[in-house]
Structure formats: C-alpha cells, structure tokens
Amino acid sequence: MTKGLVIARYQPAHISHMEVFDFAKQQGIDELFVIKGSADKQRIPRHPFTPEECVDMVEMYLKRINIKYSIFPLEDVSQNIKKDDEYLSETDLKDYERYALMLISKVPKFEVAILGNPTIKVPLERLGYKVIPPMGEMNCSATYIRREYALHNDRCEDLLLPEQVDYMDKNGLYDIMKETCLEEFRGELR
C-alpha cells in the first residue's frame, strides 16, 4: 500500500485541490495524508475559515475521489522562514529542512509527497522522499476565490463543489470571507 502526503491551507478548498487528490490516486497512492496548514489561524485575512470548516470542505473533495485519507490540521510552524521562493540558499534549505522534519513528524510514515512548493519540495527530496509535482498549472487558487468575492461579490461557484457552496451558504461563510478578506485586498479596491 502506497501512502502519500499533500499540504495546503484550503482557505477555501477548491476544484484544483480535488485535481491534486485525484492525481495522487492516479499515481498509485492508496492512502493520503492531508496536512491542513496554518490551522492556528482563523477569521483573519488569508485565513477566513476555521480549521474545522476547512476540514469539512476538504472532506467533500476527498470523498468524491474515493481514497482512504486522514487529515492533520497543523499550526503554522514556518513563521520565521520565507515562503514560495524559487531560489533557496543553503541557509534557507537548513531552515526549510527543520520545517520539513517537523511537518513529517506529525503524520504517519509516507512514501511520496504530491506538492510543488519549493520551500517544502526541495527539503523533502534532500531528506530522501520521493516528491511528485502536481500536474500542470492549478486551474484556480484560494486567493483568487477570496479576492473575487471580497471585491466583486463573485461567488466562484464554478470553482467549488455544489455541496460546498451550500455548506458555505448555510454557515454564513461567504459573509465571513468577505468581512475578513476585504483587508487582504484593500489596496486593490477601485
């Protein structure tokens, strides 16, 4: 049985996350360990949803893929490191390796990670893990969804599952997203 790892914040979960889960299954992964990052942050810009709300939404996608999974909400442990850099100095890599070691200590043993972010991809590879980048470009991003709703009231329903839209409506999450994310995109207001 091949066990895999994926990491994201899921603020909110969206169809590109489902594509990553599906891709993992296509790669022969039988069980998926899903890290929900920055679980200590909620109801603030970039993190409008609670960890429980994110997990609920992620599960909607995982159930459609029909793969065995476990979700691990983890706090942000990368406060002091830069993120999403393409160039990583040797000093950066040592910090990222400590970060990667801490992350993987929180989940069961896995054989492969599906991720493209170099701040975790490169250290995991250096630690001997097989890392497969997700296929192609992501079709959407959570930042895009938050921006579109906060600035233009675009619910981006085409980028979410119907049951997720219902869940967000039922729990007032669109309103919460707008309230918390307006600050995130204030500089873009026309």
29 Cβ contact list (under 8 Å, min separation 6): 2, 3, 4, 67, 112, 114
Average pLDDT, the chain: 89
Higher local confidence (pLDDT), 11 or 184 = 11
Q: Mean pLDDT over residues 54-80, rounded? A: 89
Q: Is 181 exposed, middle or buried (0-12, 13-18, 19+ CB in 10 A)?
A: buried
Secondary element (H or E) of residue 68: strand 68-73
* CA dist., res. 161 & res. 149, Å (int): 16
Higher local confidence (pLDDT), 139 or 142 = 142
Nearest to 8 by CA among 102, 126, 146, 113: 113
One-letter-per-residue 3-state SS of 72-137: EECCCCCCCCCCCCCCCCHHHHHHHHHHHHHHHCCCCCCCEEECCCHHHHHHHHHCCCEEECCCCC
Task: Provide the percentage of residues in the chain whose pLDDT is more than 70.
Answer: 91
pTM metric for this prediction: 0.89
pLDDT at 59 over 70: yes
